[in-house]
Every structure is written in C-alpha cells, then in structure tokens.
Structure 1
Amino acid sequence: MFLLVFFILISHSSANSVFDFCVANLSLPNGPEGYACKDPKRVTADDFVYSGLAIPNNAKNSSSSIPFLQTVETTQFPGLNGMGISIARGQLKVGEIVPIHIHRVCEVLYVIEGTIGAAFIDTNNTAYYKTLNKGEMIVFPPALMHFPFNVGSIPALTYSTFASENPGRQFVNNALFGGKLPSDLVEKITLLDHAQVQKLKKIFGGTN
C-alpha cells in the first residue's frame, strides 16, 4: 500500500510539472522565469512560427562598429518562451568584426556562407582561435568573452543558437565607455589616460 501511494504521489507531482508549451503573453511583465503563459485556448500555429530570418536585412545597427545582428528571442517569437533556446543571424562584410562580448549562456555559431575567424578567452586568459569555413561551427562557453570576424573575400552569413530564450549580450567596450561610469574610475581600471577615455566615451556615447 505504501509503495502504491508513493508511486501515485510521484506520478501526480510529475504530471503537474510537465507542460507542452508556454507561449509568452507579451502583455504581461517579463521576469527571471520568462513570461506568463498565454491562454492555451488562444494559442495558434502562428505562435510557433517565425519568418523574420528568411529575408536578408540590410538595416544598420545603432553603432556603426557593430555588424548587423538579428537576434530572435521571446519578444519576437513568443513560442520560444520556456524552451531554453534562441537564435541569431549575423551578416558580416569583408573585414568586419563583431566586437568582443559575452552572453549568459553558451552559443553555437554555424557558418552558412564565407569564412569566419572566431575566438574566445577563458578565465585563465587563454585564447582559443580558429578559422571556420562554410558548414563548420564553434561553441562559445557561457559568460566568456568572444568575437567572430570575417576573414574571407566575400560577405559572411552565420547563424547562432543559444541555450536560453533570453541569452543577453554585453559588449565590453559599450559596458566600459557607453554608460555613466565616472571617467577617473574608467582610467584606473583600464590604465588609459584621460584623453583616451574621453575619446572612447565620445565614440560609445558615455557620460561622466
């Protein structure tokens, strides 16, 4: 009898923790666990389909130093909510580089067209670099600084997948020189002089 009750309780607990999907209700606030679920009765097949990456986008980023990156997260694709995955499309002109940055989770970058140089730096300051051709991929471990760049003779196209529907992205230069961190403090942590810091703050839109 004890075993029967035990298995019933386990079965009941497991059933309560299992869900088919949780399409994001974007009208409600986002939190650490994602968005609240849309009423299943209002869910349609369109909630699980996204066509935005099918069309090349030639729009410019807010910063001319950043190649075009289109990240598809929950806000663009509500069906990703709770799925632990997202995707990004990168378009890099010849010689173009994505500035060094980090994500909260791991990234797998796959080369669709062109030739990409890709590197990441671990917490021992060891740099890992590889040239990737069409059809090859690389994994960037979570929270480590990394950057891809076009080393080929034609424009490059990449797709990246992330182990979260909200992986985040923080560019190191923007973090240091694009905010309100006082200049004297930036000078101390970067070992740059005042003129250099002011020049970089002007480029990245920082104040103070």
Structure 2
Amino acid sequence: MASVVVRPSKLLLALLVAAMAASPRALAYDPSPLQDFCVADTASNVFVNGQACKDPAQVTAADFAFSGLQDAGDTGNAFGSKVTLVDARALPGLNSLGVAMARLDIAPGGVNPPHTHPRATEVLTVVEGQMYAGFLATDGKLFARVLNRGDAFVFPRGLVHFEFNCGAGPAVGLAGLSSQNPGLVRVADSLFGAAPAVTDEVLAKAFRIDAATVQRIKAQFAKK
C-alpha cells in the first residue's frame, strides 16, 4: 500500500481545526483562562481587560459563592422590572471564566425594555409566571413568543431584545450569559438619556417626530 505523505503545513492546519472542534471554549468571546481560577481582586488599581487576579493564597470558597438570587427584585419603578446581575463584580470567582447570570423579576404588565448585551449571548429560562419575549435580527425581523414556566429562549449576542410580563401574576426568569461582563445598552435610555445629550435634530430626524416630542421623551429619561 502506498504511503500518504502529509506536509507539515497541512498537518498543522488539520490539528488546529480538530482542536477548535473539540474545544468550544476555543471559540468563546471572552479570553480563555490560563490557570484554574483568577478571582477578581476588587481592591486592585491595575487596569486590565477584565480584572486583576487576587493572590491565590488569599482565595477562599466565599470568592466562588453568591447569595441573593432567592430574593425578589424591587419592581416598583417606571418599567415594573428589576434585573439582579451576577457578574465578575458581584461574584469575583467568575473573573476570566466567560460566564455570568441574572435574575429577572417583572410585575404584571411590566417590561424589561429593549436592550442589548454587546459581549454576551443570553439564554433565559422562565421559572415563574408568563413572559412575551423576543429579539430583532439585523434585518429587522422579529423573533418572539410567549414563554411559560420551564420554557427557555435564546437571545443572540448584540441583538436588541426584551421581555414583557403578559400574565396575571409576577414573572421570574433566570438567565445565563456568555461573558463575565455582558454589558448593557438600553435602547431608549441610551438615545434619550445620554449625557451629553444627543441633539434634538438628530433624534427628531431619526424617529420622524418633531423637536417638541423629542423634548417630552427626553424629560422621561432625565438623570435624577
């Protein structure tokens, strides 16, 4: 049988492809860790992409634990919703691991308004009540459905999405996010509550409304 000769360059490419296929973390957005853990040193003044590592000799089990997700969030606000985020700032042990989670509470008729997470895909599971949830693709197509207890829904990274409580009682969801620091950009808040403010002319032209209407909307998002 004739032998098959694989050139080094082709062998290297084949090994690289195999390694990427075998390890989904190789395709993760956040940098992969190079040690067992890198607990965030919240007292450090060093500025890095993420947070500086705490001395491993000072790390304890408490650095990997968080308490509070059993408590309902305060929905007594204009939106009727509250997000309790557990990221690397709230749970130092998440630093460098590329994941975060959140609890979402929405009162009847409340909404978690349209927003994006620029650094994370989100998967939401409804654990109580009912939600109407969806996201907008870059071509403007809406993907949405009513979710009941036990249902899950995925919001792709960076796309605008929302959740609305369409049920008669409180709604609660638990979300997993594919970044230790997902980021949050609320669409309306960012445009109408920016500081310094986006000019009335820009917003009036973009939303096809007059400057007086822009001013009325801005007043709803003025920083207190």
Range class of TM-score, shorter chain: 0.7 to 0.9
Find the residue that maps to 2:54 and give its secondary structure: coil
- Indicate the residue corresponding to 1:123 in structure 2: 138
Report the CA distance shift for 1:24/1:60 in structure 2 as closer, same or farther (over 3 A).
farther
- Indicate the residue corresponding to 1:11 in structure 2: none
Q: What is the CA–CA distance in structure 2 between the aligned matches of 1:129 and 1:33, rounded to whole Å?
A: 34
Q: 2:73·2:104 contact (CA, 8 Å) conserved in 1? A: no
Q: 2:73·2:83 contact (CA, 8 Å) conserved in 1? A: no
Q: What's the CA shift for 1:181?
A: 1.0
Q: 1:29·1:35 contact (CA, 8 Å) conserved in 2? A: no
Q: What is the CA–CA distance in structure 1 between the aligned matches of 2:213 and 2:159, rounded to whole Å?
A: 26
Find the residue that maps to 2:164 and give its secondary structure: strand
Q: 2:133·2:162 contact (CA, 8 Å) conserved in 1? A: yes
| Aligned counterparts, 1:186-197, within 5 A | 186-197=203-214
Find the residue that maps to 1:51 and give its secondary structure: coil
Find the residue that maps to 2:213 and give its secondary structure: helix
| Aligned counterparts, 1:102-141, within 5 A | 102-104=116-118, 105-141=120-156
Q: What's the CA shift for 1:30?
A: 7.0
TM-score, length basis structure 1: 0.85
**Cα deviation code 1:175-195 (max 9, x no counterpart):** 110011111121122212111
Find the residue that maps to 1:52 and give its secondary structure: coil
Q: What is the CA–CA distance in structure 1 between the aligned matches of 2:157 and 2:167, rounded to whole Å?
A: 27
Q: 2:116·2:184 contact (CA, 8 Å) conserved in 1? A: yes
Report the CA distance shift for 1:31/1:164 in structure 2 as closer, same or farther (over 3 A).
farther
Find the residue that maps to 2:103 and give its secondary structure: strand
Q: What is the CA–CA distance in structure 1 between the aligned matches of 2:46 and 2:115, rounded to whole Å?
A: 24
Q: What is the CA–CA distance in structure 1 between the aligned matches of 2:63 and 2:219, rounded to whole Å?
A: 42
Do residues 98 (structure 1) and 115 (structure 2) align?
Answer: no
Q: What is the CA–CA distance in structure 2 between the aligned matches of 1:48 and 1:151, rounded to whole Å?
A: 35
Q: What is the CA–CA distance in structure 1 between the aligned matches of 2:46 and 2:114, rounded to whole Å?
A: 27
- Indicate the residue corresponding to 1:78 in structure 2: 92
1:167 to 182, 187, 192: 182
Query: Structure 1: where are the runs of 5+ without partners?
Result: 1-16
Q: What's the CA shift for 1:18?
A: 3.2
- Root-mean-square deviation (Å): 1.6
Find the residue that maps to 1:158 and give its secondary structure: strand
TM-score, length basis structure 2: 0.79
Query: Structure 2: where are the runs of 5+ without partners?
Result: 1-32
Report the CA distance shift for 1:43/1:144 in structure 2 as closer, same or farther (over 3 A).
same
Q: What is the CA–CA distance in structure 2 between the aligned matches of 1:95 and 1:176, rounded to whole Å?
A: 24
Report the CA distance shift for 1:176/1:150 in structure 2 as closer, same or farther (over 3 A).
same
